[in-house]
Amino acid sequence: MLKIQINSIKILSLSATFTGLLVFAFFAISIFTLLTSLMGTMTPGEGQEPIKIEISPKGETIFTLKAVNSGLLAITTKLNIKLISKDKVVAQGQKAIKLLPKEKGELKLRLAFTKSQMEELQETPPKISFSLETRTFFDLAGMGVSAQMGEDK
C-alpha cells in the first residue's frame, strides 16, 4: 500500500514538473512570436514607413500597414485608427488579419468623410490615434503599441 502511494506521488510530481516546463515553453515561443512579428511590422525596411497614408479626392483616407509574422505561431494583427477633431471622434476604423508563421499580409483601412467633415478637418487638423495589437496562442497572449499624432488645440 505504501509503495503504491509513493509511486503515485512520484507520477504526480513528474506530471506537474512536465506541465510547468510545457507552459514555460509555450510562453517563451509566444513572446518570441509577438516580439519578432511586432518589430517586423513596425520596422518594414530602409526608408519605408510602417503605415502609409493616402488621401483621395473623394474624401477618403486609406491607411495601409504591411504586417509580418516572423514567429513560430499564427498571429492576429489588428489596426485601430481614430481621427479626433475638437475633442470628438470624427472617424474611426478597425481592421484585422490572421497570419500563419513566416507569412506577410496587408491591412488596408479606409475612412470616408462627408463634405462637411472634410471642411471641418481643413479648418482644424485632426489628431490621429493609432493602435496596433498582435495576439497569438489562441488569443491568450498579446502585445500592442499605440501612438497619437497631431497637436492639442
* Structural domains in the chain plus CATH codes: 29-149 (2.60.40.10)
Instruction: Check if the beta carbon of residue 104 is closer than 8 Å to that of residue 66.
Output: yes
Please say if the pLDDT value at position 152 is more than 90: no
Please say if the pLDDT value at position 3 is more than 70: no
Res. 151 pLDDT band, cuts 50 70 90: confident
The percent of residues in the chain predicted with pLDDT above 90, rounded, is 58
Give residue 2's pLDDT: 59
For 42-59, what is each residue's pLDDT tens digit?
A: 887 777 888 898 988 777
Q: What is the dihedral of CA 25, 100, 42, 97, to 10 degrees?
A: -120
